[in-house]
Structure 1
């Protein structure tokens, strides 16, 4: 994982949109706009499934240009493929199997439901300069984020003039 070009939060992780496994570098997506990172504990867990399907169904995200969404967990790309297909998710899921990115963003549970190093449930929005513009996280992985706050942040980034 290298972050030299894109600043302190840049990363490259394997991921999938459901068919092929590819590498995704954060700075490739922030160069032209904002990125929403959705950190979550596990594919197929009830709260994670509800949250990711809620993001899939957020019409304002579908119609917002220059904003990419990525889900990040420690699950493998093979689990992600099945999860994407089962729930028709419209954005890539990235595999942080070593936990490097969740540590970089300080979003790791020491232990959650007898699993060590699980990502906290969190939303992070970065602009094109990798500045964190919105951050929501919870210590209780059963809590869900306020999608209205995320929507307002994303829409404010889209409405800002290009720097």
Structure 2
């Protein structure tokens, strides 16, 4: 992440209605590209930004396989699903390949992106990591939905509720319902 682009970290996680921080970080794509990518470049449609601890931890494998297996997210037609973790680009590439993921992953090795969103913490007061969380950001860069892991001991143990995330995305991108002339 380019430190000059990183805002000061908030004391609490960002909330619905807050502007998403602008940042640039290393993005690893399913097609094999690794590049410095401004977050704003992904906002051609809503972005579901999912923070997780590290690649290949059992809970993260479960989370990303759930996103992969939930066909609606996999299509990428209505929303960009993007992961953020402390893992570096090399491990991200292996994670994408091994799990056959169709989603890009940001490498947040120094947790600057996590800090900007207010989700960096110390597990057991020792190890720095990202709190498992999801933010739906609209094309204007405004947070429209937020989910935070709430496990009493280790918030990385919660798994995002894929069905609830789907409903939040549908509500954000929904067009006027068809009334059939009535």
Fold shared, TM-score > 0.5 on shorter chain: yes
Aligned match of 2:139 in 100, 116, 128? 128
In 1, distance between residues paired with 2:49 and 2:124? Answer: 20
The alignment partner of 1:75 has SS state of: coil
Larger Rg: 2
Runs (5+) with no aligned partner, structure 1: none
- The structure 1 segments of at least 4 consecutive aligned residues displaced by more than 4 Å after TM superposition are none
Counterparts of 1:130 and 1:143 in 2: how far apart (Å)? 26
CA distance in 2, matches of 1:89, 1:132: 25
Which deviates more from structure 2 when the two are superposed, residues 129-138 or residues 13-22? 13-22
CA contact (8 A) 2:133 2:149 kept: yes
Aligned match of 1:154: 169
Please tell me whether the aligned partners of residues 112 and 118 of structure 1 are also in contact (alpha carbons under 8 angstroms).
Answer: no
SS in 2 for 1:41: coil
Q: Which runs of 5+ in 2 are unaligned?
A: 8-18, 177-182
The CA RMSD over aligned residues, in Å, is 2.0
Question: How big is each residue's C-alpha offset from its partner over 1:107-145, in whole Å with a ceiling of 9 and x where there is no partner?
Answer: 012235952x20111111100111111111114211112
Map residues 27-106 of structure 1 onto 2, 5 A cutoff: 27-30=40-43, 32-63=44-75, 65-106=77-118
Does the CA contact (< 8 Å) of 2:20 and 2:137 recur in 1? no
Q: How many residues align?
A: 157
TM-score, normalised via structure 1 length = 0.87
Stretch moving more, 48-57 or 103-112: 103-112
Are 1:37 and 1:71, in contact at CA under 8 Å, matched by a contact in 2? yes
